[in-house]
Amino acid sequence: MIRFQQVTKIYESANKTVKAVNNITFQVEEGQICVFLGPSGCGKTTLLRMVNRLIPITSGTIEVNGKEIHSLDPIALRRSIGYVIQQTGLFPNMTIEENICVVPNLLGWDRVKMKKRYNELMEMMGLNPDEYRKRYPWELSGGQQQRIGVARALAADPPVMLMDEPFGALDPIIRERIQNEFLRIQKDVKKTILFVSHDLDEAIKLGDTIALFRSGELMQHGTPDEILSQPKNEFVAEFVGSERALKRLSLFTMRDLVSRLNPADRKSAGKRDLRHTVHMDTNLRTALSVLLSSPTGEAAVVDDNGQISGVVSIADFERLTGIHPSERTSAVQ
Amino acid sequence: MEVILFLQDNWREMLQLTWEHLQLVGLAVGVAILTGVPFGIYIAQRESLANLVMAVAGIIMTIPSIALFGIMIPILSLIGQGIGFLPAFLALVLYSQLPIIRNTYIAIKNVNPEMRDAAIGMGMTAWERLTKVEIPLALPVIMAGVRTAVVLTIGIGAIAAYIGAGGLGEYIARGISTSYTTMVQAGALAVSILALAIDFLLGRIQKRLSSQTAKTS
Ligand SMILES: Nc1ncnc2c1ncn2[C@@H]1O[C@H](COP(=O)(O)OP(=O)(O)OP(=O)(O)O)[C@@H](O)[C@H]1O
Ligand SMILES: [Mg+2]
C-alpha cells in the first residue's frame, strides 16, 4: 500500500517558486494499479519520483507498505521499488541479460539465481531468453525494449513499481499489445503500481483507480467508472470529455451483459441469421460497433468454444445502465 | 632515396630508438591516464573547479615544449636529474593531461541524464553508478582523449632528445648538429610513421568501444 499524506513539493529556482504538488492526500491499495492522469505539467512525474526519493519532498509524508520513506535508507528503498521510465532507460553498455539483472546484481544474488530469474522474466515477457541474452538494447525494437524495461523493474520482485509513461513512445498497435501483456502479467504478480499516463484511454484500461491532477492538485481519485460516471467537478467532466459514456462501455465485456440477458433470448439464438458475432470477452465499446454494423441490430455472443450463448441487440445495452462496476463478472482485457 | 639507404644501414639502431620513444610516450601517457581520468571525473562533479582546471591545463599547453624542458632542467637539477629521462617524462605527462582531463570531464558531463536517472532510480550508489554506467558510457570519448594525447606526445617526445632522453629525436638532433640532412629526414619520417600507426591502432580500439555504446545519446 502507498499512502500520500499532505504531500507538497515546491521547486525553488533563482527567480520563482513553483508549487508542483500541492497538499495531496490519498492512498493506493496493495496489488492495485493507480494511474496518475492529467495535463502536462500538472505534477504527475514529480509526485511519482518523490516515492523513491529521486525528488526530495517539501512537506508531508509518503508511506510505502506502512513505512515512512524517510525512515529508510534511500539506496535500499530504491532497490525495493521497481522503476520503469521511457524507452531510453535501458543501459546501452549492458547486454539484455545484464540490464535485467541490474538490481539482483546490486543486491548480490549469485549467478545461478540471476540466470534463472532472467529466463523466468523473459518467458513471462514472451521473449526467447537465449535469443536476447547477449544482445544490446539498440538491437531491439521499441516494443521489445519496453518489455525489457518492465522485466528489469520486476527482476528483484519488488512489491511496488513506479512507471512513468512507460508506453508513451510506442505506436498505437504495439502499445495496445503491451498494455494487454502488462495486464496479464499484473494478474499474476499483483504489484502495487503507480503509473503515469496522459492518455485517458490508457488510464481507463489499466487503472484499478485513476488519480486526476490539475496544476499540482488532486481533482479526483476513484475507479475509472467513478471518474467517468460521477465526475466530481467541472474539470474532471471536461477532461474525460463528451465521449465518456462511450468510454465507460469499454470497462465492461459481453460477459457482463449476457449474464443479464433473458433466458428466452438465449433459446432463440438458433433461428436467426447470425453473421454478426462477438466473443464473450469483447468489450462493449467494440461490441457496439459490431451491432451498429449489423443490419438487424443484433449479434450472437459466442464463448471460447464457439458456442452461441445468446443474442444481443442494441436495446440490450440499456440494461447496462443498471450495472454497477462492482458487479462486473469479468476483468476487462 | 638516400633515406631508404640510411634506413637499410641503420635499422637496428632505428628500432632501438623507436622502442625508447615508445617507452617514454607509453609511460607518460599511462601516468597521465591514471591521474587525468580520476581527476576529470572528480571535476565533472564540481563545476567551479572544472573551469579553473581547464584554464590551467590550457596555459600549460601553450608553453612551447622546448621552453617547458628548459623550465624543468633547473628545477630537477636540484635532485640531480636535470637532463635525461625524468624531465622529458614529466613534461610529456603534463602535456597529455589536458586532452585526457578535458575529454574525461566532457564525457562524464555528457552522459545522458536519463541514464544517470535510471541508475539512481534502480538504487545504485554513487560509486556503482560511476563504474557500472557512467565510465563505460564515457569510455569512447575518454579514449579519444588518450589518442590525442599519444599522438601529441609522440611529436613532442622527438624534442626530448635535446635533453638527453633518447628516442627518435636523436636522429633529428644529431642530424641537425652535424648538418646530415638524410639523418634528419629519416628521424622525422620515423616519428610521423610511428604517430600515424599508433593513431590508427588506437582509432580501431576507440571504434570498437563506441560501437558498444552507439545509441547512447
Ligand atoms: N527541477 C524542476 N525545477 C523547477 N520546476 C520544475 C522542476 N521539475 C518540474 N518542475 C515544474 O513542476 C511542474 C510539474 O512538473 P512535472 O514534471 O511533475 O509534470 P508532469 O505532470 O509530469 O508533466 P508531463 O505530463 O509533461 O510529464 C511543472 O510546472 C514543471 O515546470
Ligand atoms: Mg512527466
Which domains occur in chain B, in start order? 2-66+92-211 (1.10.3720.10)
How many whole angstroms separate alpha carbon A255 and alpha carbon B80? 95
Q: Which runs of E-coded beta strand occur in A197-303?
A: 209-214, 217-222, 277-279, 298-302
Q: What is the mean pLDDT of chain B?
A: 88
Residue A320 pLDDT: 61
**Selection from A3, A48, A4 nearest residue A23 by Cα:** A4
Nearest chain A residue to B114 by CA distance is A89
**Is A75 an interface residue toward B (CB < 8 Å)?**
yes
Q: Please answer yes or no on whether A54 and B133 come within 8 Å at the CB atom.
A: no
Atom 24 in ligand 1: residue holding the nearest Cα: A40
Longest dimension (CA), chain A: 76
Domain ranges of chain A: 2-243, 254-327
Q: What is the mean pLDDT of chain A?
A: 86
- Measure CB to CB from residue A89 to each of B118, B125, B128 and give the nearest one: B118
Residues of chain B with pLDDT > 70: what percent?
A: 97
How many whole angstroms separate alpha carbon A153 and alpha carbon A210? 22
User: Minimal Cα–Cα distance from B120 to chain A, Å?
Assistant: 8
Please determine, for residue B142, whether its predicted confidence score (pLDDT) is greater than 80. yes
Q: How many angstroms separate the Cα of A281 from the Cα of each of A45, A284, A330, B52?
A: 34, 9, 8, 67
Residues of chain A with pLDDT > 90: what percent?
A: 55
Chain A residues whose beta carbon lies within 8 Å of the beta carbon of residue B115: 88, 91-92
* Residue corresponding to grid cell 527482476: A155
Chain B residues whose beta carbon lies within 8 Å of the beta carbon of residue A86: 114
pLDDT tier for residue B161 given thresholds of 50, 70 and 90: confident
Chain A residues whose beta carbon lies within 8 Å of the beta carbon of residue B121: 52, 54, 78, 83, 85, 162
Residue A332 pLDDT: 46
**Is B114 an interface residue toward A (CB < 8 Å)?**
yes
pLDDT tier for residue A264 given thresholds of 50, 70 and 90: low
Q: Which of B127 and A286 is assigned the larger pLDDT?
A: B127
Q: Which of A289 and B52 is assigned the larger pLDDT?
A: B52
Residue A333 pLDDT: 40
Please determine, for residue A247, whether its predicted confidence score (pLDDT) is greater than 80. no
A275-289, A315-329, B140-154, B175-189 — which is least confidently predicted?
Answer: A315-329
Please compute the mean of the pLDDT values over residues A296-320 and round it to a whole number: 76
Name which of B115, B122, B208 to mutate to probe chain A: the one with the most chain A Cβ atoms within 10 A of its Cβ.
B122
- Which CATH number, 3.40.190.10, 3.20.20.70, 3.30.70.980, 3.40.50.300, labels domain A2-243? 3.40.50.300
Residue B216 pLDDT: 44
How many whole angstroms separate alpha carbon B142 and alpha carbon A182? 40
A279-288, A314-323, B201-210 — which is least confidently predicted?
Answer: A314-323
Other CB atoms within 10 Å distance of the CB of residue B80: 8
Type and span of the H or E element at A95:
none
Here the ipTM equals 0.76
Q: Please answer yes or no on whether B122 and A79 come within 8 Å at the CB atom.
A: yes
Residue B4 pLDDT: 86
How many whole angstroms separate alpha carbon A25 and alpha carbon A8? 10
Please determine, for residue B217, whether its predicted confidence score (pLDDT) is greater than 50. no
Domain A254-327, classified CATH 3.40.1410.10, yes or no: no
- Measure CB to CB from residue A103 to each of B115, B123, B212 and give the nearest one: B123
Pocket test for ligand 1, best of A7, A44, A50, A85 (most atoms within 8 A of CB): A44
Write the pLDDT tens digit of every residue in A18-37: 999 999 999 999 999 999 99
pLDDT tier for residue A249 given thresholds of 50, 70 and 90: confident
Please determine, for residue A58, whether its predicted confidence score (pLDDT) is greater than 80. yes
**Is A137 an interface residue toward B (CB < 8 Å)?**
yes
Atom 29 in ligand 1: residue holding the nearest Cα: A41
Write the pLDDT tens digit of every residue in B19-41: 999 999 999 999 999 999 999 99
Residue B34 pLDDT: 96
Q: How many angstroms separate the Cα of B95 from the Cα of each of A11, B28, B166?
A: 44, 9, 18
Q: For residue A188, what are the contacts with CB-CB under 8 A and spacing of at least 6?
A: A124
Residues of chain A with pLDDT > 70: what percent?
A: 89
- CB-count exposure of residue B127 (10 Å: 0-12, 13-18, 19+): exposed
Q: Which of B8 and B142 is assigned the larger pLDDT?
A: B142
Please compute the mean of the pLDDT values over residues A150-164 and round it to a whole number: 94
Residue A265 pLDDT: 54
pLDDT tier for residue A11 given thresholds of 50, 70 and 90: very high
Q: Is the CB of A104 under 6 A from ligand 1?
A: no
Residue A220 pLDDT: 96
Please compute the mean of the pLDDT values over residues A34-60 and round it to a whole number: 95
**Is B131 an interface residue toward A (CB < 8 Å)?**
no
Please determine, for residue A205, whether its predicted confidence score (pLDDT) is greater than 60. yes
Name the CA radius of gyration of chain B, rounded.
Answer: 20
Residue A27 pLDDT: 96
Chain A residues whose beta carbon lies within 8 Å of the beta carbon of residue B123: 75-80, 103, 106
